[in-house]
Structure 1
Amino acid sequence: MKKTILLFLIIAFISNSYSQTYKVSQKINVSGDEGWDYLAVDQVNQHLFVSHGSIVNVIDLKSNKTINTIPDTKGVHGIAIANDLNKAFISNGKDNSVTIVNLKTFKLIDKVAIEGQKPDAILYDQFSKKVLTYNAKSNDATVIDANTNKIIKTIPLGGKPEFSVTDTKGLIYVNIEDKNEIKTIDANKLEVTASWSIAPGDEPSGLAIDPETNRLFSVCSNNLMVIVNLSNGKIIKTLPIGEGCDGVVFDPEKKLIFSSNGEGTITVVKEENANTFSVLETVKTQKGARTIALNKTTHQLYLPTADFGIKPEPTKENPQPRASLIPNSFMVLVVENNAK
């Protein structure tokens, strides 16, 4: 009996320790009252690029201060960092363009108009030196030569693309939200080579990759993380995550996957090996913190959000009203491991 009680206490202690591991450690206040989407870490220069309505805020991660604002990025969604070329590529959803800036001076290099409509997620593939914008309205991907800033091709995707990752060896993977699929793109041929169903996952958005174990982590609107073998598209496991997820990142050193849930939580998943995964803990963040970026140098996580007012009652003209943003409340949450 005493051994049973002791074992129970040990298990309870371990469980409680896990539940207290990651916490919001800081809130970086950022000026402006517009909406947001993706954010990206420049690992080399330790800068954070934050999409923010019609601008991009650049935060110095050593001081947590805004050091620059990149203007004229109407309806900005994503930022792709190309350190080897000293460029950042920014997708502008409202004017169908890509803004290209110098990573160190933040000066404009070029602004490229694309034929694709409503560019959303954007990816830089260092292997092929290409940038792909994933166009939500035209259901395709625009390919840009990252060296010349010229458009090379448009790749039909047959559905609405969301986030994308590269294996850095010639293959690119992208979630197709309205088809519940992951598509594989050959970075050299610039064509789709495979389409995999990820059912029971529904409306996949965020995507992360572990190239060492050949695993993809796709987060879906029906509160599931779907773990996929990137060699053949086979589903390895599904795990529960929080409500309203729109982002996921993988920390290769800690072997942890972080799902950012708009309800105000992060689901932390542990990768024990290529076939063993489990939910480690649920971290409280803040409502609206649905996208996420990882600093691989410090292992800190960044999530943009704001404070919200009272949600209006539904009307005939507006059956699905949204709560308004409280002015001057936009921020980036910093989440880290307090036990590190």
Structure 2
Amino acid sequence: MRNRFGGFALCLLAAASMGAPVALTAQANYQVIDQWKIGGDGGWDYLLADGPANRLYITHGQKVDAVDTTSGKVVGSITGLHGTHGVALNPDGKLGYISDGGGNAVVVFDRSNLSTVATIAVGTNPDAIIYEPVTKAVWAFNGRSKDASVIDAATNKVVATIALPGKPEFAQVDGQGNLYDNIEDKNVVVKLDAKAKSLVATWPITCDSPSGLAIDTDAHRLFSVCDGKKMAVTDYTSGKQIATATIGDGPDAAGYNAKAKLAFASCGEGVLSVVNAADSSYPTVQTVPTQKRARTMTYDATSDRIYTVTAQFGQAPPATADNPRPRPPVVPGTFTVIVLGRK
């Protein structure tokens, strides 16, 4: 994905200033309820909650950490990787899949003992990864080769490669055999047919550099988070953008609570934006302080908890001609999971 721990402008979107109804603000009422210091070195990308198993998978540099969500402790790691981006899970409860961007591969692992089962060559820099349940396939969206690799989960073989119109970001499935993906450099959302293994629609959205994507399969909506403090809401039956919500600055991930009809955006400037998707005006009803650079998140519907990650940073090195925008280094041992919930 993009620079997950970048961005510096403050998000100052208090729910009161948005005119949110008091009752709904109380209904949202998310707050930080815990923090788990994981430690370790290097950057990170996406994380994924496995609610029924009480486990959280976090892509963390050249490994994936598995965290027990009842204790907040790391129970093991999948290692030997080259630069991880995302995790997908097979509903069989046995296997998981990692997009190893630095290795141009998808790594299959055994969830019972975190051992590597297979390494599958895909496109260049696989980023977003998701399991499609109708066709029982894993889709890896390759950021540099601008295509998607389709892997048969029964054989762990690539069965198709689908060209995309630009750089893919996060993806979602609707459970009916369709996938949706943000194309970051074109400001569009694409629809893909899993059975036909083909691109079937390209929908422009008024939203710059869409990255994180959440889905509401009941009302057939997609929530794309973008630069410029925006969240685009798209009807995926028509392909039309139906609304634009105002969120925090520097978002990179999204989530959706189907029961409460709330959409989330994790913002790098240190807030979680909570949007009321039951209201046609899509107001932001909460702006919850988290921590700077906490840009990626996952929502666990089983526990109604949100997990995001960040760390402390040192001083950035001087800019050079080869590296005009150097990143500040992560302070070793400060990598932390922030847990949000409703008390």
- Could you state the TM-score of these two structures normalised by the residue count of structure 2? 0.90
- Of 224-233 and 313-322, deviating more is 313-322
Partner of 2:64: 56
Partner of 1:279: 284
State whether structure 2 residue 47 is matched by structure 1 residue 47: no
1:44, distance to aligned residue in structure 2 (A) = 2.6
Structure 1 spans left out of the alignment, 5+ residues: 1-7
Of 109, 118, 139 in structure 1, the residue corresponding to residue 117 of structure 2 is: 109
Verify the 8 A CA contact 1:88 1:103 in the aligned structure 2: yes
What is the aligned-residue RMSD (CA, Å)? 2.1
Encode CA deviations 1:174-224: one digit per residue, 9 max, x unaligned.
Answer: 00000100000001000000000002x011000010010011000112221
Distance 1:22 1:313, change over 3 A: farther
State whether structure 2 residue 318 is matched by structure 1 residue 310: no
1:146, distance to aligned residue in structure 2 (A) = 1.1
1:312, distance to aligned residue in structure 2 (A) = 4.8
State whether structure 2 residue 238 is matched by structure 1 residue 232: yes
1:316, distance to aligned residue in structure 2 (A) = 4.7
Partner of 2:199: 192
SS at match of 2:36: strand
Distance 1:242 1:118, change over 3 A: same
User: Which structure 2 residues correspond to residues 185-334 of structure 1 after superposition, within 5 A?
Assistant: 185-199=192-206, 201-272=207-278, 275-312=280-317, 314-316=319-321, 318-334=323-339
Higher relative contact order (CA 8 A, sep 6+): 2
- Could you state the TM-score of these two structures normalised by the residue count of structure 1? 0.91
Partner of 1:4: none
1:124, distance to aligned residue in structure 2 (A) = 0.5
Partner of 1:72: 80
SS at match of 1:272: coil
SS at match of 1:84: coil
SS at match of 1:44: helix
Distance 1:143 1:331 in 2: 33
Verify the 8 A CA contact 2:20 2:285 in the aligned structure 1: no
Structure 2 spans left out of the alignment, 5+ residues: 1-15
- AA in 2 matched with 1:249: G
- AA in 2 matched with 1:108: T
1:30, distance to aligned residue in structure 2 (A) = 1.0
Verify the 8 A CA contact 2:246 2:283 in the aligned structure 1: no
User: What is the aligned residue count?
Assistant: 326
Verify the 8 A CA contact 2:252 2:268 in the aligned structure 1: yes
Larger Rg: 1
Of 27, 32, 36 in structure 1, the residue corresponding to residue 35 of structure 2 is: 27
User: Which structure 2 residues correspond to residues 123-202 of structure 1 after superposition, within 5 A?
Assistant: 123-199=130-206, 201-202=207-208
1:103, distance to aligned residue in structure 2 (A) = 1.7
